[in-house]
Structure 1
Amino acid sequence: MLSYKYYDTPEGHDIFKKVFVTSKYAGMAGLGVATFDVLMYSHPKGLFNTAYRYAFFLGPMVGMAAAFTVTANTAQNIREKNDVWNYFLGGVASGTVFGAWKKSLVVAVPVCLALGAIGMIKKTAIDENWILVPEITSAPKSIKSVHHDWTLVKDVDELKTWTAGSK
């Protein structure tokens, strides 16, 4: 199950595996956001307060991912149509989790619509083979690479007015 990808099976199948995949990515993002919050913003004191801040971010983010996945795949099974509206409904479900997290209906409604629209764009991109995030195919470089120029600006030979022997 660790090598399973979301689109390995058709929509509406293997919902548990798909929830695991989306929750895994949401958990990784949540760890990053929570770590940033703990180190740079909230500065909690003690283990309990630090764990609470991590749970404060991880729980809703994983919940949003699970709500999207379950809703979109269940809508596929109920409607028996594989279209953008399933992803819109999944985005709305994610937005409701976000609104509940923020305890605000005023926040929930626009987030529901925005995530629904993003879901529709993603589904259209999958169906029509759009590349939303291109893959970087350059040769791998490391910080120890002596063949890579890490300067921000290249040297211009015409601007060099000094020589090795001058003072």
Structure 2
Amino acid sequence: MHPTRDPKDLTLLEVLNLPLSTGQFKEWRDKKRPYRYYDTPDGQDIEKKLFVAAKYGLGFGTFLSIMDTSLYSNHLSFYAMMSRVAMFIVPSTAMFTSYAAVSYTALKLRGKDDVFNNALGGVVAGSIYGVWIKSGRLGYTVSVILALAGAAHKHANDLGFKPFNLDNVIKEYGNHRDPFQDSSLVPIGEKGWTTGHD
């Protein structure tokens, strides 16, 4: 492989097997990266933030519905299966988007960018869960848990701590599709091996 070639000229197989430490490819990859929730500060780009939240909610709801329809529920018709799928997708998407919308609205109304806005978003998302499950006690419990989780995530992001950041993982010998994976926490240093002819 030629790391000096323009990444746009590489074939798909070369891109998949290209070491991610190549600077030019890393710059190209970062340009193509989709928008993440905290790419812009809170209070900006609400449309993008809502789209990202809806995407996460849709993915989470799809995962839950696949687990439910394939492992738990016994459906006699396609309509029954699709109504069961919608029963998971709609509330989870509503929870994620309401978290983003309420956090944004609280920020605009209060004029302060702090953890209370995200905690309020977590309370509303947990309330939607309680309505979905039809249990006030469980809705209250999930509201408190999501409020604490939202506040902790906002606080960690403000401090610059990224708990699930995969950008700094050492990928010297390829990516997750390669048989040559480097799972070490530190780079491999100089070996003391000789050829035996010294």
Decide: shared fold, TM above 0.5. yes
Provide TM-score, normalisation by structure 1.
0.80
Alpha-carbon shift at residue 131 of structure 1 (Å): 2.3
Q: Whose RCO is larger (CA < 8 A, sep 6+)?
A: 2
Q: Partners of 2:63 and 2:141 in 1: how far apart?
A: 25
C-alpha change, 1:80 and 1:141, in structure 2 (3 Å) is closer
* 1:1-167 equivalence runs, <5 A: 3-135=34-166, 136-138=169-171, 139-142=174-177, 145=179
Alpha-carbon shift at residue 24 of structure 1 (Å): 0.4
Q: Deviations over 1:19-60 (max 9, x none)?
A: 111110110111111111111111322210111111010011
Provide TM-score, normalisation by structure 2.
0.68
More helix by share: 1
Q: Partners of 2:70 and 2:121 in 1: how far apart?
A: 32
Instruction: Specify every segment of 5 or more residues in structure 2 that has no aligned partner in the other structure, as ranges.
Output: 1-32, 182-198
- Whether the aligned pair in 1 keeps the contact of 2:57 and 2:97 (CA below 8 Å) is no
Name the amino acid aligned to 1:91.
G
* Overall identity of the aligned pairs, in %: 32
Root mean square deviation, CA, Å? 1.9
Q: Partners of 2:121 and 2:146 in 1: how far apart?
A: 8
Runs of 4+ aligned structure 1 residues displaced above 3 Å come to 136-139
Q: Partners of 1:140 and 1:19 in 2: how far apart?
A: 31
Instruction: Specify every segment of 5 or more residues in structure 1 that has no aligned partner in the other structure, as ranges.
Output: 149-167
Aligned residues, how many?
Answer: 145
